[in-house]
Chains A and B, each alone.
Chain A
Amino acid sequence: MKALVLAAGGGMNMAPFFPTRPKSMIHVAGRPVLHRTLQMLRESGFGEVCVVVGPNGRLITEFFGAGRSVDMKISYATQGKRGGIGRAVLAAKSRFKAGENFLLAYSDVVAEENLVSSVMEAFRLSDKPAASICLTDDPAGFGNVYLDDAMNITRIIEKPGRGGKGNYVLAGMFVLPYSFFGTLEKNGGDMAKALAALVRAEGLKGAIWEKGWVDLVHPWEVLLANRMVMGTWHDAVVHESIKLRDAKIKGPVHIEENVEIRSGAVIEGPAFIGRGSYIGNNALIRKNSSIGAGSVVGFGAEIKNSVIFGRTKIGRLSFIGDSVIGENVEIGSGTMTTNYDVNGADIKVRLDKALLGTGMKKLGAFAGDGAHLGNGHNIAPGAVIPPGCVVGHNITHPKRGV
């Protein structure tokens, strides 16, 4: 069986990481989420995959190429101007053969363990099209399903909004027959309508997923996904090239090759440090921090529960807490992310003109790719720093003489 992975998605809800990258290239636990999806497919025996990319697809094709790094054969299809999941699926139609089943995966979904094997088991048991389903605190924005006593999906209600209660929702992983492309075409590329037609005609088996699952819609969900994935780590994996001198590591810490760790640094796992990074003297890397390849963490800086995509500089004596920092970002010395409200209120984030609740009491900032903040800033909780934004030093100019 071949797999079809949708990797073109993005939206203003994912600011400041949109539009510079699709959601599939957001990093979680040291890797783009698409990398995790492809690894799960490989583990489940898939050798061939078609990835549908969108406007900034070059980021993906350059990263994965023909697929050698994930030991798969990857081909790419490009989604045209018309958006929507159904259109993205149709973009790959020519890569699949009539009469075959295929696995469809959304790559902006992060699962705690291998979601592919769960949907494949349901498919093999029932010999019917299958869909992963799971429970979520807020089903309003998903396809809500109704099940019968044999776990067949009997009805799908797409994004019920306020009418949503506590249904199982579609979790972004399906096994579908080739004829589904035709069903999509007949329904004008509308995924919800096509799935409803499939439920009526051939049936769709639910594969209940009970482990962790995060759908990346908003930037703070990156932190939830990161913590969930790192929570599954039990062993420390430190590359043989690493010299720890008198730095300390505790717990499941993953450190790639050629990372320089200076004396006095403390790294508390689970944590990830990507290849070629530099961790300065007395730096403190706390739990659930992921520092992407080629990054620099200066002297005495503290990183806590944060995701840094890579090639980013965190200046000396800074604090980055509960934050997501893109690629090629520079954070000046002594710059702090303030990550709580003194009254203990939930932190809100302004995205695309709307102020959204996050349900989180500790939340720092989100800095888009290529942003540059000077020295001495104190960034408000929930702040969104647009990609490429440059903010000078926060410095005083003492007057000359008296």
Chain B
Amino acid sequence: MCGISGIVSGENVAAKLLSSIQNLEYRGYDSCGMAVLNARGPVVRKNVGHVADVAEKELFLSLEGVTGIAHTRWATHGGVTPANAHPHLSCDKTLAIVHNGIISNYARLKAALIKRRHKFASETDSEVIAHLVEENRKKGAPLERAFTSALKDLEGSFAVAMVSIEAPHRIYCGKHESPLILGLGKNEFYVGSDFNAFIEHTKDAVVMDDGEYAVVSDHGYEVKRIRDGKPVRKTIMRIDWDSEASRKGGFPHYMLKEIYEQPETVRKALSVSEDSIVGLAKGLTGAKRAYLTGVGTTYYAAKVGQYYFASEADLGVPAASSDEFLENSPLAKDDFVLAVSQSGETYDTLRLVREAKKRGAKTAAVVNVVGSTLSRLVDQVVLQGSGPEICVISTKAALAQMIILMRVAIEAGRMNGRLTPAEKRRKTAQLEALPALISGFLNEYSGLFHTIAQKHASRHNWLFMGRGRFYPVALETALKVKEVAYLHAEGMPAGFLKHGALALIDDTLMSAMFVPGESEKELHRMTMGSVAEINARGGRVIGFHFSKSLRGSKLFEDQVLLPSAPPLTSPLVALLAGQLLSYFLATVLGRDVDKPRSLAKSVTVA
């Protein structure tokens, strides 16, 4: 996963390019670089580190020129070194490229180029592109054709942008299976991996499709087919994200900002049109076999969905992690796959959906990013409209996905008669009460989780448990604690304790239990039974529960009495509790909250 950016303008582009890759930094942040064209050719500055640090060290802002490209990297091929950072130059240093994706046949291409005496400066797959174009030029092809024939030689995925001294006011770019978007300004045009690359400057954009390339200049752009150079007519999209929304707005971290945006993202998820919800419900109920899928947090969102399909619609809709799906689930014609993805660029999920289509299955997706690959690949798409999620750790997008899956489950229940219209209305009203509930919760409870985090941040091992719909919440909380606080955490159904985990319990392992409300009598009783089991083995438990009667209970070392919510939405309140706990564990431990080590926002590689 990397972010690419390019600007052609009538004025200096260095400052805008810098802010562009800063906005793209969440896509990858181990190294970055920039190439700006001057009279002698592209001047390249690059190094390893966060964008702000590299920019300062390499004096990005001292570059002068009206055409430039930039890149922020998350390493796949080749280590994190200054040489492996993009842009990459051709041997004669007349052209520079940036690339996002993976070129699977690069070893073969590279060997052939080395035979032709090309000298490689890096270990990356990307560098072959620069040399391929150069080679084509040597053979006499004009620049544009030299570029497209290079792209034709590539196997794998790519979004590429190139500048050359031969065309000082142009950027050449093309894509296959990696995202690429053009931004249309006034006498200034932009190329980027997504909207964030240029959202500060324009809201008009053109989404490129696979197999297309574009020539962008300071007075316009042309999109053509890589295959035969035929022009393609593209529609101009207007992005309605506010550029302010892409920034932190004074919050100390994007993660906290996005946690606080959840009342609004829930409202947005509730305002997704009834037609789309009905469409998904029909797809699910009408299929021979229906599945939910996602990977990482979105898999847990799908898992939450599975429980609601069972409870609200009496439907068995298994959730399978998209990376394992093809190994553990039969998939054929007339099956239905509903995929969940924030970015819509997740490699594992895209691979699965492509395979599902190949086998004749129907596909649908709940996606946040407009114009993303997944959103254009599936038969039905529901855009969750959560706005940009910048923190690598998903919070608001995941909650919105769960809300949409709950709405689909309720609709499916109404369709198959499991729920009466009155019951559907009552449940919908409970969902509609959620934004106010969340808003009050965030304001009045944050400090309680902060206190618990301060007290227990030194514990290295955590077990998060719940039963029923609180089990996927426990899974998701454990994942959050792992990814943002770097603490060892496992999510488990509380019922598993007896079947193994009890052997692990001692006073160094911290258990956290999500306890359902007392109205879910049996589940509540059984969960409290599990709490007693841990206590009996000298274990320590933090309780997140809804019962006034448990206040002061000696079974919990620490506890938070959550605000009361109906059984339908109480797991979501528990989910927020998990978000706040993991956030404060991370801040107390001084973690890099928005960009945890070794993680990228959307995982576009295998």
Contacts and interface: CB of A to CB of B under 8 A. Distances in A.
A148 B451 CA distance: 22
A112 B249 CA distance: 23
A136 B448 CA distance: 9
A122 B248 CA distance: 11
Interface residues of A, number: 24
B444 A151 contact: no
B376 to A, nearest CB: 30
Contact of A135 (B250, B260, B450): B450
A125 interface: yes
A241 B451 CA distance: 45
Interface in B420-468: 439, 442-451, 454
A139 B261 contact: no
Interface in A199-214: 205-208, 210
A165 B442 CA distance: 11
Contacts of A126: 250
B149 interface: no
A14 B446 CA distance: 29
B447 A135 contact: yes
Nearest to B443: A146
Interface string B377-400: 000000000000000000000000
B263 interface: yes
Contact of A210 (B252, B444, B445, B451): B252
Nearest to A130: B250
A149 B261 contact: yes
B447 A147 contact: no
B250 A125 contact: yes
Nearest to A150: B249
Contacts of B249: 125, 150-151
Contact of A167 (B251, B256, B443): B443
Contacts of B445: 165-166
A145 B447 CA distance: 12
Given A147-B260, A149-B260, A149-B261, A207 B447 contact: no
A168 interface: yes
B446 A166 contact: yes
B451 A137 contact: yes
B263 to A, nearest CB: 7
B264 A168 contact: no
Name the residue among A145, A206, A208 with the largest chain B CB count within 10 angstroms: A208
Contacts of A122: 250
Interface string B313-328: 0000000000000000
B251 A135 contact: no
B444 A149 contact: no
Nearest to B264: A149
Contacts of B257: 149, 151
B587 interface: yes
A210 B256 CA distance: 11
Contacts of B260: 147-149, 151
A166 B449 CA distance: 8
Contact of B447 (A136, A146, A151): A136
A166 B587 CA distance: 17
B284 to A, nearest CB: 32
Contacts of B264: 149
A135 B439 CA distance: 17
Given A147-B260, A149-B260, A149-B263, A166 B250 contact: no
Given A137-B451, A149-B261, A149-B263, A166 B252 contact: no
A168 B443 CA distance: 7
Q: Which 5 A-B pairs have the closest CB atoms?
A: A166-B447, A166-B448, A135-B450, A165-B444, A135-B447
Interface of A: 121-122, 125-126, 135-137, 139, 145-151, 165-168, 205-208, 210
20 contacts: A125-B250, A126-B250, A135-B447, A137-B454, A145-B443, A148-B260, A149-B257, A149-B263, A150-B250, A151-B250, A166-B446, A166-B449, A166-B450, A166-B451, A167-B444, A167-B446, A168-B447, A205-B250, A206-B250, A210-B252
Given A125-B249, A165-B445, 17 more contacts: A121-B250, A135-B450, A139-B447, A145-B443, A147-B442, A147-B443, A149-B264, A150-B249, A151-B251, A151-B260, A166-B444, A166-B448, A166-B450, A167-B443, A167-B444, A207-B250, A208-B251
